[in-house]
Amino acid sequence: MARKLPKTDVVIVGGGATGLVAAYELAHADRRCVVIERGPMRRTSPTLQSPEQHDELRYGIRHEHQVDVRRNTLTFRNNRQQRALPMRRLGSFLPGEGVGGSMMHWNGVFWRPLPSDLRLRSHHEERYGRGILDEELTIEDHGVTYDQLEPYFDFSERVFGASGRAGNLRGETREGGNPFEGPRSSEYPNPPLKQHFAGALFEKAARETGAHPFPLPAGNCSQEYRNPYGATLHPCVYCGFCERFGCSYFAKGEPLSAVLGQLEGHESFDLRHECEVLRVDKSADGKTATGVTYVDRGGNEYFQPADLVLLCAYALWNTHLMLVSGLGRPYDPETGEGVVGRNYCYQTMAACNVFFEEGVRTNPFMGAGALGYAIDDFNGDNFDHSELGFIGGGYIGCSQTNGRPIEYNPVPEGTPEWGAQWKRAVRDYYLRHAGLSIHASSVATRHNHLDLDPTYRDHLGRPLLRMTFDFPDNDRRMAAWLVERAEEIARAMERVERYDTENRAAFGKAYTIVPYQTTHNTGGTIMGADPTRSVVNPYCQSWDQHNVFVFGASLFPQNLGYNPTGTLMGLAYWALAAIREDYLQNPRSLVST
């Protein structure tokens, strides 16, 4: 029997980026916030300091900052004809666990969506006619526009100290930035990072092919910077330990460096770590949530009543929590009806590995998660799709994230996978490799979805989340086309000895959860303007229980060609503004149905 605790104004599930930002904003609106986080407490100092933090075996290989799949995992299958099995080792994606969440160990690639990305269905129907969209595609509009979100993108970039160069400042195109991006109301708070040698070669080659390279928008801070919350970010030292690691230097914009230090000690902030939310509880009439029930590390169960419930867990677990709590109608791929679990999407990843001639030194050990150049010419609908047979696209980037000793060992295709020849090849190529990464969109289809597994349970006895996913043919066609674009740039790069390509979404290759691809799982609790096709309304508020708001990439109706963090942080600030400025004064559904 759960012990009932005193009521709080707001209960927040998850102590990651959106959870801590929500706590900051609402505690400063005089609302008592209880944040419940199932992982451990962390602070940049002392928890993330090196040399301990730079332990690649512990964090890079054994994933100690990520979800413990012995306790919480999901089952996976490619399609409904298969039986799903539990994922017992992390691979394709690495959801975070613990205070700071997944953004704590992100690389820092900090994009905004294109204006057309946020009204994807309408945009394509307007530009190409309805025929462009295959019937299988269940892509949607977000229900909120770029112009509405712009001030919140801008603010989140200030909080996390984004470094980059605006390519579109209030409608004026600026040399050296991304000419395809939507208008920015202000310049990046920090200038771009220093660039790496291979990136400079890529930049030159991309320009020669007619593309428009620019520095990747970075959450790795390029200089000393004080954010709007009063936290000081330090300059990045290019140590090459971003993704999978916490930043020792207060240089990566993430919840610990940018938010937590300014929030701890606030009288309205109560953080309970190593406590796991079992379910969201509903009122007798089902029209509101009454709070959450959670279990602490000792197995004690508590009911935390609250006026407002914010779901700020990782995208997959937000969906899981709604399903096990009976919030919203579960999606049924058979009928296409229901919403929770609908439009699960991933990211379509491919690469072109470039090996330079002897004598070129790329010095990969000097890196940062978002250090590099990218082109956006082939992303979204920045190019004509009418004859291509697919929609969507991606950016092609040349970044230098790390040269870490265990996993950074690029060798040309055809090298044996072990033994003397492999070792020789690692030595030969360590200092003369660059990866051109293709980071592309993922369309929603009727088949790819999330639901509850009928067989397997988690350590608390709840059914595991079940993922059904394979790359849609649309994305396979897109990936093949994008690989050719990357090859054109590789051919134009100087002093290249050879290059190899790698396409995760090649025809004939089923998606697999084994090799790491990217931690960009999206959808499941999508936003939209139509309650029969979305879980939350355009203010990220549950259609069914008006005091439940959802945060994070589970809101995305489909995944864009961009890393999701910038988009989801903008959405978080947008929703928080609606909560602060409207909902708290008059709690109700903010969109009448």
Partner 1 sequence: MNHAHTIAFGIAGGIVAAGWLADAVQAQSDAAAVGPTPERLFNATIRERPDEDLIAQGRLVAAGGSGAGGAAMACFTCHGADGAGDPAGAVPRLSGLPAWYMYKQLNDYADGSRDSASMTGIARQLSDTEREAVSAYYAMLDSPHPRMPPAGNLRMLQWGQQIAAVGATDRAVPACLSCHGPDGAGLPPSVPYLAGQHAEYIALQLRLFRNGERHNDAMQVMSAIAKKLSDEDIDAIAAYYSRARPVDAAPRADAGQ
Taking CB under 8 A as the binding criterion, the range among 151-159, 360-368, 538-546, 566-574 that sits at the site for partner 1 is 360-368
Minimum distance of partner 1 from residue 66's CB (angstroms): 22
Minimum distance of partner 1 from residue 353's CB (angstroms): 19
User: Binding partner 1 by CB under 8 A: which of 234, 282, 439, 504?
Assistant: 234
User: Binding partner 1 by CB under 8 A: which of 238, 543, 562, 583?
Assistant: 238
Strand partners, 463: 457
Per DSSP, helices labelled H in 273-403 are 315-325
H helix count then E strand count, the chain = 12, 24
What span, in angstroms and rounded, lies between the C-alpha atoms of 30 and 489?
53
447 lines the binding site for partner 1 (CB under 8 A): no
Minimum distance of partner 1 from residue 224's CB (angstroms): 4
What span, in angstroms and rounded, lies between the C-alpha atoms of 456 and 86?
7
Gap between the terminal Cα atoms of the chain: 37
250 lines the binding site for partner 1 (CB under 8 A): yes
Q: Please give the helix or strand (H or E) that residue 230 lies within, else none.
A: none
579 lines the binding site for partner 1 (CB under 8 A): no
Cβ closer to partner 1: 12 or 493? 493
Q: Please give the helix or strand (H or E) that residue 167 lies within, else none.
A: none
145 lines the binding site for partner 1 (CB under 8 A): no
Describe the crossing of helices 565-578 and 146-159 by its angle, rounded to 10 degrees: 100
Q: Which two tokens stand for residue 136?
A: 């299988």
Per DSSP, the three-state class of 463 is: strand
Cβ closer to partner 1: 50 or 168? 50
Cβ closer to partner 1: 180 or 429? 429
354 lines the binding site for partner 1 (CB under 8 A): no
Taking CB under 8 A as the binding criterion, the range among 59-67, 180-188, 245-253, 386-394 that sits at the site for partner 1 is 245-253
50 lines the binding site for partner 1 (CB under 8 A): yes
Binding marks (x or -) toward partner 1, 214..233, rule CB under 8 A? --------xxx------xx-
Q: Which two tokens stand for residue 140?
A: 């949607």
Taking CB under 8 A as the binding criterion, the range among 56-64, 329-337, 359-367, 529-537 that sits at the site for partner 1 is 359-367
Residues in region 274-293 near partner 1 by CB under 8 A? none
477 lines the binding site for partner 1 (CB under 8 A): no
Per-residue DSSP letter, 375 = E
Buried b (16+ CB within 10 A) or exposed e, 551-588: bbbbbbbbbbbbbbbbbbbbbbbbbbbbbeeebbeeee
424 lines the binding site for partner 1 (CB under 8 A): no
Nearest to 516 by CA among 378, 401, 430: 401
359 lines the binding site for partner 1 (CB under 8 A): yes
Cβ closer to partner 1: 53 or 415? 53
| Catalytic residue status for 449 | no
407 lines the binding site for partner 1 (CB under 8 A): no
Per DSSP, the three-state class of 588 is: coil
Cβ closer to partner 1: 197 or 516? 197
Give residue 131's region: left, alpha or beta (phi > 0; psi -120 to 50).
Answer: alpha
209 lines the binding site for partner 1 (CB under 8 A): no
What span, in angstroms and rounded, lies between the C-alpha atoms of 558 and 54?
35
249 lines the binding site for partner 1 (CB under 8 A): yes
Residues in region 109-138 near partner 1 by CB under 8 A? none
261 lines the binding site for partner 1 (CB under 8 A): yes
The amino acid that residue 216 corresponds to is L
Binding marks (x or -) toward partner 1, 28..47, rule CB under 8 A? ---------------xxxx-
Sorted by sequence, the CB contacts under 8 Å of residue 435 that are 6+ apart come out as 351, 352, 353, 354, 398, 399, 410
Angle formed at CA 569 by CA 328 and CA 402, multiple of 5 degrees: 120
Taking CB under 8 A as the binding criterion, the range among 27-35, 107-115, 362-370, 456-464 that sits at the site for partner 1 is 362-370
Mode of pairing for the β-strands spanning 301-311 and 8-13 = parallel
Sorted by sequence, the CB contacts under 8 Å of residue 334 that are 6+ apart come out as none
Per-residue DSSP letter, 181 = S
Minimum distance of partner 1 from residue 287's CB (angstroms): 43
Angle formed at CA 127 by CA 121 and CA 128, multiple of 5 degrees: 85
Catalytic residue among 63, 123, 520, 546: 520
Cβ closer to partner 1: 173 or 363? 363
What span, in angstroms and rounded, lies between the C-alpha atoms of 337 and 330?
8
245 lines the binding site for partner 1 (CB under 8 A): no
User: Binding partner 1 by CB under 8 A: which of 80, 127, 185, 200?
Assistant: 200
Residues in region 365-384 near partner 1 by CB under 8 A? 365-366
Cβ closer to partner 1: 496 or 550? 496
**Contact between 508 and 471 (Cβ < 8 Å):** no
The catalytic residue positions are: 520
Q: Rule CB under 8 A: which residues touch partner 1?
A: 43-46, 49-51, 53, 194-197, 200-201, 203-204, 222-224, 231-232, 234-240, 248-250, 257, 261, 359-361, 363, 365-366, 431, 494-495
